[in-house]
């Protein structure tokens, strides 16, 4: 099915399998990997027409590759976007967005609870080029309002947040951005389009680290930016000139990942909710952070805005770092890693790994305590995940 004759009434599960199919003369059922850096032309005249843009078609794989384009079409269909531009990593997706859309003198307002490297990109590197970023707590609407000036061009956020699973109203944030002539960019990594479509809720751009749930099995690094034709033409222009391009092999892995995305996100969500409820009742656990629990402050918003609650949760064990590390080190099947979005459950101590670079004050402010553990609940049987955690939790008094 080509992009043009895509039936807009198809359901997401179908789009994930049927959009961007690459049928070649060989009849390959799985999309082929176009492992080629460049393309040949029938004639000098055709080459000239391709380069001038008069004739559409492939030129050079930094910016045109059929496997990469198939992934872009499929993800665009799932995000409900006019167009998607694939990138070499999630960070390259964020970099390409800001480089394409901002210039010296512009300002960004960004949630304080974003991926750590996003923080560094804005604070250290963008600042050098005269783009100033203000960081505000994700759910403090008045602070977002106060941080916006006449120079603000972009609001940037992740919802749910990492690792405390706070949720913000995307529609309200989009209205706030638009009332000041700014754009809203949502990093949709945690929910994926299977659970949340930021563009339908009013955001201008939804971007991804495809490395996480889109792949879903921890094999490849990649990213993507989704939005309307005009914005994506700018992002594509930067990608074409600067070259943070996705490899065809990685694009192929993500294409396969998208085919099972909806099923996997349902299973991640089901397992995570069960784990959250179990931990919530556990005598060794002080507090659980997961939007699926009725006591979560944005539980109702998450129910409205998301199709399900996703695979990530965190909890405070009774005690401090010693007890948290004891729980982590007592596991036998869970993977101790900073990564998430894998079919295998991952367990992380944010204070000393993913958020280790934050100052003590910043950790305190964002709730990254020494007794906090993050889980990205995978697809193992939930009883086995519980038993693996119980080994360490049983030692906590």
Ligand X SMILES: *Cc1c(COP(=O)(O)O)cnc(C)c1O
Binding interface with ligand X (CB under 6 A): 89-91, 115, 118, 158, 187, 189, 209, 211-212, 221, 223
What are the φ/ψ torsions at residue 59 (nearest 5 degrees)? -125, -55
Cβ-proximal residue to ligand X, closest one: 90
**Smallest separation, CB 8 to ligand X (Å):** 29
**Smallest separation, CB 105 to ligand X (Å):** 26
- Interstrand relation of 335-336 and 346-348 (parallel, antiparallel or unpaired): parallel
**Smallest separation, CB 207 to ligand X (Å):** 8
**Smallest separation, CB 150 to ligand X (Å):** 29
Nearer to ligand X, 206 or 396 (CB): 206
Nearer to ligand X, 118 or 247 (CB): 118
Orientation angle between helical segments 248-259 and 66-79, nearest 10 degrees: 40
Nearer to ligand X, 118 or 269 (CB): 118
**Smallest separation, CB 223 to ligand X (Å):** 5
**Smallest separation, CB 213 to ligand X (Å):** 9
Nearer to ligand X, 22 or 71 (CB): 71
**Smallest separation, CB 307 to ligand X (Å):** 18
Nearer to ligand X, 158 or 169 (CB): 158
**Smallest separation, CB 91 to ligand X (Å):** 4
Nearer to ligand X, 223 or 392 (CB): 223
Nearer to ligand X, 158 or 388 (CB): 158
Nearer to ligand X, 94 or 284 (CB): 94
Are 200 and 184 within 8 A, CB to CB? Answer: no
């Amino acid at each position: 099915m080509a992009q043009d004759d895509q039936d807009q009434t198809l359901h997401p599960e179908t789009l994930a399998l049927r959009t961007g199919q690459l049928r070649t003369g060989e009849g390959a059922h799985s999309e082929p990997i176009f492992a080629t850096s460049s393309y040949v032309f029938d004639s000098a005249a055709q080459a000239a027409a391709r380069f001038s843009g008069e004739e559409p078609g492939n030129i050079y794989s930094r910016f045109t590759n059929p496997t990469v384009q198939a992934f872009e079409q499929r993800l665009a269909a799932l995000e409900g976007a006019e167009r998607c531009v694939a990138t070499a990593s999630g960070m390259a997706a964020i970099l390409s967005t800001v480089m394409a859309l901002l210039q010296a003198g512009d300002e960004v307002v960004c949630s304080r609870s974003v991926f750590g490297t996003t923080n560094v990109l804005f604070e250290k590197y963008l600042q050098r080029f005269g783009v100033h970023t203000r960081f505000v707590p994700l759910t403090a609407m008045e602070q977002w309002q106060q941080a916006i000036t006449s120079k603000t061009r972009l609001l940037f956020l992740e919802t749910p947040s990492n690792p405390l699973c706070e949720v913000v109203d995307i529609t309200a944030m989009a209205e706030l951005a638009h009332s000041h002539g700014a754009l809203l960019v949502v990093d949709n990594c945690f929910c994926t389009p299977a659970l949340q479509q930021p563009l339908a809720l009013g955001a201008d751009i939804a971007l991804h680290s495809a490395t996480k749930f889109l792949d879903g099995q921890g094999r490849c690094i990649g990213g993507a930016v989704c939005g309307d034709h005009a914005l994506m033409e700018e992002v594509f222009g930067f990608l074409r000139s600067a070259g943070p391009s996705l490899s065809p092999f990685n694009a192929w892995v993500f294409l396969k990942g998208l085919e099972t995305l909806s099923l996997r996100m349902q299973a991640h969500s089901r397992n995570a909710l069960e784990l959250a409820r179990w931990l919530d009742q556990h005598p060794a656990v002080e507090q659980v952070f997961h939007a699926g629990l009725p006591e979560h402050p944005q539980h109702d918003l998450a129910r409205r805005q998301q199709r399900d609650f996703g695979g990530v949760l965190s909890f405070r064990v009774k005690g401090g770092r010693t007890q948290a590390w004891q729980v982590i080190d007592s596991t036998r099947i869970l993977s101790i890693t900073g990564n998430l979005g894998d079919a295998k459950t991952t367990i992380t101590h944010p204070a000393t790994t993913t958020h280790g670079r934050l100052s003590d004050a910043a950790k305190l402010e964002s709730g990254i305590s020494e007794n906090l553990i993050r889980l990205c609940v995978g697809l193992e049987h939930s009883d086995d995940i519980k038993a693996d955690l119980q080994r360490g939790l049983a030692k906590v008094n």
